[in-house]
Chains A and B, each alone.
Chain A
Amino acid sequence: MSGIRLPIELAAASFVAFAAILVLPHVLELFALINATVYVSLAVLALSLALVWGFGGILCFGQAAFFGLGGYSYAVAAINFGDTTYAVPVAIGVPALVAAALGYVMFYGRISDVYMGAITLTLTLILFNFVNSTAGDQWRVGAAPLGGFNGIPSTPPLNLPGDPGNPLPPEWIFAIAVVSLLICYILAKLILRARFGRVIVAIRENERRAELLGYDVRAYKLGIFVIGGAMAGLSGLLFANCVFVSPTMFSLFYSGQIIIWVMVGGLGTLVGPVIGAILLNLLTTWAGTLPEINPSLILGAILVLAVLVMPRGMLPSLATMLGRFRVAGGVT
């Protein structure tokens, strides 16, 4: 990895982000802009799994759990505080804490990869079923009713810090989502470039060798898992700001889709899953307008095609075609 590549990549990402913030609100209608915000929030979710799975080598089916926890924590905290200022750290902190507890049990308990997939998936399903069954007035956290399968339709939108009387308009929420995605991307880049990230990649390559070199593999895996959980929580917060929180955030639909975004976009890259998430969501939304076809069928067909035609995903395959693909681990 050359020294000037990182600044160029970060500058390019920033340029795209700010161009989107300046242009899209003027071009898109309100409904389309809110949809765009949803896609960006889901791109943050894809990025979180890109980090945990693509670089940490941890196939986590539970990213949707952290996504949902982020959304619900945000909604519950915002309703109770009457202000979203402190709901933001809660939305990131709660999923991070749950990831830390779950990760501690999994990694320090030396649970194998297959079981890890099963455990994370189970957690998601438990949360889905639990939240689904919280209809009725007895299920409330402070002032916030959990609402069962209806979710919390009164999820308040973000306000300026300390100014609860002024909820932000959708243009602002869009800008915040894009900036959040940019920050997460830059953060992920810096993490992977730092010592911590190099060791994470080494562990993905060969866990035993990393251990024989004196690295405490459990601690590193826990670290990346918690970062991924926090990022997924942020994504849930952003999602809650465009729609509202409901149990579908914990559903198999999302847990499965995130994996598809990352695979189709390119496992082991960061930009790939972001693009994958946005493109596939655009596609499924468009397919949803077609009366004859079920969008899930299209998504399934794309996954099968992608695995057959470009098993490494969109971005690496594209890069190979352009002849720029370098050594694995260097391409992010």
Chain B
Amino acid sequence: MTALLATEHLTMRFGGVLAVDDVSLAVADGELRCLIGPNGAGKSTLFKCLTGQIKPSAGRILWRGQDITGLDSFEIARLGVGIKTQVPSLFDGLTVLESVRLALRRQARERAARAQALATLERLGIVELAPRLVALLAHGQRQLVELAMVVAPEPDLIILDEPTAGMSAEETTRAARVIRALNAAHAIIVVEHDMQFIRAIAKTVTVLHQGRVLVEDDVASVLADRRVQDVYLGKADASPRMVA
């Protein structure tokens, strides 16, 4: 079966530094995949390559078997990829409803977009925020509004960059629940470094270390893996190289 999103020997070099080094991975339709690794493992660089923010130095990125290497962010989004950034990226001067409508505007008619936007807000339990100005929302609400913008157009794949950054333990638990629920309808890639969170959501985990794939397996095996423990506890040569 053709993977939904795959990378082949993906490499990103910044001067003499190999931030992503020959990474090949494949994510299937409907899968929930975690990309983890300690600081400097190359997660963020890989995220930027996958979302079209930077062009890889070598290797290919495939979407349903088609080469999409080097496409711009907006083109990748149009394929049906929803992207959530680490720090919520929002339209501060607009209302919540208008923001979500903008996420839908490319594909739906005006009236349908409004109804669908409200339905999405309803689904995430924040429909009462619809008329509020985004700038005035609390941090947790902002996270949900961004999520609403990402899921509203029903993307085939959602890529989340460190969704639990800055969250309390309780919020993290809730986020894990939300992500599992979303996985019923969308394939998801989560870039994270919080192992507890990974334990709560993941099925398959890809561990990155120094830009390379260290292990790729189900969550229990990964957590039990000696090499992974070494990398996280710093026994192996885990000192991060100069990586952006």
Residues of A at the B interface (CB closer than 8 Å) are: 195, 198-199, 201-202, 204-206, 208-217, 327-329
Contacts and interface: CB of A to CB of B under 8 A. Distances in A.
Contact of A211 (B73, B91, B93, B105): B73
A212 B83 contact: yes
A209 B91 contact: yes
Contacts, number: 68
B14 interface: no
B54 to A, nearest CB: 13
A267 to B, nearest CB: 12
B77 to A, nearest CB: 4
A205 B102 CA distance: 12
A163 to B, nearest CB: 44
Q: Which of A202, A208, A329 has the most CB of B within 10 A?
A: A202
Given A198-B102, A211-B77, A212-B77, A329 B93 contact: yes
Question: Which bracket fits the contact residues of B?
Answer: 20 to 34
B221 to A, nearest CB: 34
Nearest to A206: B91
Contact of B149 (A198, A213, A327): A213
A329 B92 CA distance: 10
Contacts of A209: 89-91, 149
- Which residue of A199, A202, A213, A328 has the most chain B CB atoms within 10 A of its CB atom? A213
B78 interface: yes
Contacts of A198: 98, 102, 105
Nearest to A194: B110
The main secondary structure of chain A at its interface with chain B is helix
B89 A202 contact: no
Given A198-B105, A206-B91, A206-B92, A214 B98 contact: no
A214 B106 CA distance: 8
B215 interface: no
Given A206-B91, A329-B94, A212 B85 contact: yes
B74 to A, nearest CB: 5
A206 B146 CA distance: 12
B175 interface: no
B90 A213 contact: no
A213 B95 contact: no
Greatest chain A CB density within 10 A among B74, B92, B110 is at B74
Given A198-B102, A327-B93, 7 more contacts: A199-B102, A208-B73, A209-B149, A212-B73, A213-B74, A215-B74, A327-B95
Interface of B: 51, 72-74, 77-78, 83, 85, 89-95, 98-99, 102-103, 105-106, 110, 133, 149, 153
Ordered nearest first, which 5 A-B pairs have the shortest CB separation?
Answer: A214-B77, A205-B91, A328-B93, A209-B89, A214-B78
A198 B105 CA distance: 10
Contacts of A213: 74, 77, 102-103, 106, 149, 153
A327 B91 contact: no
Contacts of A199: 102, 105
Contact of B106 (A204, A215, A329): A215
Contacts of B90: 206, 209
Of listed A195, A211, A328, residue having the most chain B CB within 10 A: A211
Given A213-B106, A214-B106, A202 B74 contact: no
29 contacts: A195-B105, A198-B102, A199-B102, A199-B105, A201-B93, A202-B91, A202-B94, A202-B99, A205-B91, A205-B92, A205-B93, A206-B90, A206-B92, A209-B89, A209-B90, A209-B149, A212-B51, A212-B89, A213-B77, A213-B103, A213-B149, A214-B78, A214-B106, A216-B72, A216-B74, A217-B74, A327-B94, A329-B93, A329-B98
A198 B51 CA distance: 24
A202 B105 CA distance: 12
Contact of B89 (A201, A206, A328): A206
A210 B74 CA distance: 8
Contact of B72 (A206, A211, A327): A211
Contacts of B98: 198, 329
A130 to B, nearest CB: 36
